[in-house]
């Protein structure tokens, strides 16, 4: 048995208003006045003075506001890298992502691609990045994906939706300021929060489980229960706890894997553009056969917060469409192996997957 030797985020700040410390944190990383910091910021904050006035711009630093209408694409990463290269003669001092999983993943990918040749799609896969990324900082503004702590950046490319999984992907610095999540719309709060809960269920019920993953997964799950099921928890406490749940959920899957909900959700996302959080919820709602306890509690949370999930997504799809989704889902072999064990190929069929999709 050869054990994997994973990198972790080496520096993290946690605390309400810790975003105010951004300037002092990045100052020592400013290489020169010619080498700017580039801030990739979710455009939901474009007119938000409360946040933008605290972005510590100096010299020729630049803020690029980015729409998260669609999830990150390899070509979007390539375009950002070209834009940055054409604006400056030198590589930036660093990339700082401020937003949800979409922006955090873009920041990681841009930091990698600024220092590596070729296109982002060339690096989708496992351990294909050989030169380190430039300094990159992640500042989540919504909690759940674990993208702030993970070793991947999930991108949709021309051929597939797949992460750049590498030792150079994790952030050099993360700032966890739960206050930044205060204006997240309720439905989105639930969907992205459930991404974390589903990470826990899939990790804790997977064949890859080990004491490392279990310890983080159980803590994250316990925090999710407090946030989504307990009564009388204050807004602030809830924001703090969900931010830590996201972190622990991400740590849990670092040393295990996700499972069937993620595999099927990737299919929906690839064909229909369904976003990760809501897609996971739509899929997980129908997975009681595989995760009975997890789905039961998910439904209680959904009820408690009056969340209505869309339905009929697959109602008008052609055979070819179903095939595309099934190919994407089945291509994620480690997810199935984690969920169903070594002989997973004997435990799931295309017919079964199609019948699940038809319910959604
Ligand atoms: P997101 O980043 O797409 O954001 C969702 C919505 O919330 C957007 O409309 C955004 O504008 C809004 N939003 C974010 N912060 C806000 C705030 N403070 N106030 C108001 N609105 C706010 O959603 P997400 O669920 O965080 O991320 C999904 C992405 O993360 C997907 O692309 C998925 O593939 C990726 N992901 C990555 C990993 C990883 O390990 N790298 C893990 C899971 C998911
Ligand atoms: Zn996820």
Reported as a single tens digit per residue, the pLDDT across 284-339 is: 999 999 999 999 999 999 999 999 999 999 999 999 999 999 999 999 999 999 99
Contact 109, 80 (CB under 8 A): no
Ligand 1 contact via 99 beta carbon (within 6 Å)? yes
- Distance, CA of 321 to CA of 318 (rounded, Å): 5
Q: What share of residues in the chain are helix, strand, coil (percent, to 5)?
A: 50, 10, 40
Pocket mutation for ligand 1, best pick of 99, 100, 136, 168 (most atoms within 8 Å of C-beta): 100
Residues 85-107 as b/e (b if ≥16 CB within 10 A, e otherwise) read: eeeeeebbbbbbbbbbbbbbbbb
Task: Find the 97 Cα to ligand 1 centroid distance in Å.
Answer: 12
Total domains in the chain come to 2
pLDDT at 341: 97
pLDDT tens-digit map of 107-119: 999 999 999 999 9
Q: Check whether residue 246 and residue 350 sit in a common domain.
A: yes
Contact 227, 199 (CB under 8 A): no
Using a pLDDT cut of 70, give the percent of the chain over it: 100
Task: Find the 144 Cα to ligand 2 centroid distance in Å.
Answer: 8
Indicate whether 193 belongs to any domain: yes
Task: Find the 161 Cα to ligand 2 centroid distance in Å.
Answer: 13
- Distance, CA of 64 to CA of 36 (rounded, Å): 13
Mean pLDDT of 280-285: 98
Q: Check whether residue 117 and residue 168 sit in a common domain.
A: yes
pLDDT at 120: 98
Last residue of a domain, which of 181, 207, 226? 181
pLDDT at 1: 81
pLDDT tens-digit map of 46-103: 999 999 999 999 999 999 999 999 999 999 999 999 999 999 999 999 999 999 999 9
Q: Which ligand is nearest to the CA of 251?
A: 1
pLDDT at 201 over 90: yes
Pocket mutation for ligand 1, best pick of 188, 189, 253 (most atoms within 8 Å of C-beta): 188
- Distance, CA of 360 to CA of 349 (rounded, Å): 18
Ligand 1 contact via 110 beta carbon (within 6 Å)? no
Task: Find the 100 Cα to ligand 1 centroid distance in Å.
Answer: 3
Question: Is the complex ipTM more than 0.85?
Answer: yes
CATH of the domain at 264: 1.20.1090.10
Q: Which ligand is nearest to the CA of 184?
A: 1
pLDDT at 160: 82
Ligand 1 contact via 41 beta carbon (within 6 Å)? no
Indicate whether 5 belongs to any domain: no
pLDDT at 161: 85
Last residue of a domain, which of 129, 151, 181? 181
Average pLDDT taken over every residue of the chain: 97
Last residue of a domain, which of 137, 164, 181? 181
Mean pLDDT of 185-205: 98
Question: 205 CB contacts (<8 Å, ≥6 apart)?
Answer: 259, 291, 294, 339
pLDDT at 117: 97
pLDDT tens-digit map of 140-180: 999 999 999 999 999 999 888 889 999 999 999 999 999 99
Task: Find the 45 Cα to ligand 1 centroid distance in Å.
Answer: 13
Atom of ligand 1 lying closest to residue 151 CA = 40
Atom of ligand 1 lying closest to residue 192 CA = 25
User: By residue range, what is the domain housing residue 289?
Assistant: 186-359
């Amino acid at each position: 048995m050869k054990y994997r030797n994973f990198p972790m985020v080496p520096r993290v700040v946690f605390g309400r208003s810790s975003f105010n410390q951004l300037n002092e944190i990045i100052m020592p990383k400013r290489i020169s006045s010619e080498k700017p910091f580039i801030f990739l910021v979710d455009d939901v904050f474009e007119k938000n003075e409360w946040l933008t006035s605290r972005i510590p711009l100096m010299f020729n630093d630049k803020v690029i506001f980015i729409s998260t209408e669609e999830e990150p694409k390899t070509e979007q990463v390539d375009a950002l890298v070209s834009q940055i290269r054409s604006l400056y003669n030198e590589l930036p001092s660093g990339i700082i992502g401020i937003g949800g999983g979409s922006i955090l993943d873009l920041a990681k990918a841009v930091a990698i691609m600024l220092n590596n040749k070729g296109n982002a799609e060339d690096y989708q896969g496992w351990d294909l990045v050989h030169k380190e990324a430039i300094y990159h900082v992640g500042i989540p503004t919504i909690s759940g994906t674990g993208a702030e702590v993970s070793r991947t950046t999930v991108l949709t490319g021309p051929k597939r939706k797949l992460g750049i999984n590498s030792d150079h992907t994790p952030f050099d610095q993360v700032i966890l300021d739960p206050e930044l999540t205060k204006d997240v719309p309720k439905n989105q709060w639930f969907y992205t929060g459930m991404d974390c809960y589903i990470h826990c269920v899939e990790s804790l019920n997977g064949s890859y489980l080990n004491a490392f993953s279990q310890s983080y997964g159980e803590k994250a799950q316990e925090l999710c229960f407090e946030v989504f099921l307990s009564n009388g928890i204050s807004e602030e406490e809830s924001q703090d706890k969900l931010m830590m749940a996201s972190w622990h959920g991400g740590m849990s899957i670092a040393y295990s894997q996700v499972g069937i909900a993620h595999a099927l959700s990737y299919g929906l996302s690839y064909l229909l553009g369904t976003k990760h959080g809501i897609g996971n919820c739509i899929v997980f709602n129908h997975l009681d056969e595989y995760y009975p306890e997890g789905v039961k509690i998910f439904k209680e949370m959904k009820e408690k917060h009056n969340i209505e999930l869309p339905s009929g997504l697959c109602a008008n799809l052609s055979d070819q469409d179903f095939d595309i989704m099934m190919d994407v889902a089945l291509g994620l072999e480690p997810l199935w192996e984690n969920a169903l064990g070594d002989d997973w190929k004997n435990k799931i069929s295309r017919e079964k997957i199609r019948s699940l999709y038809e319910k959604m």
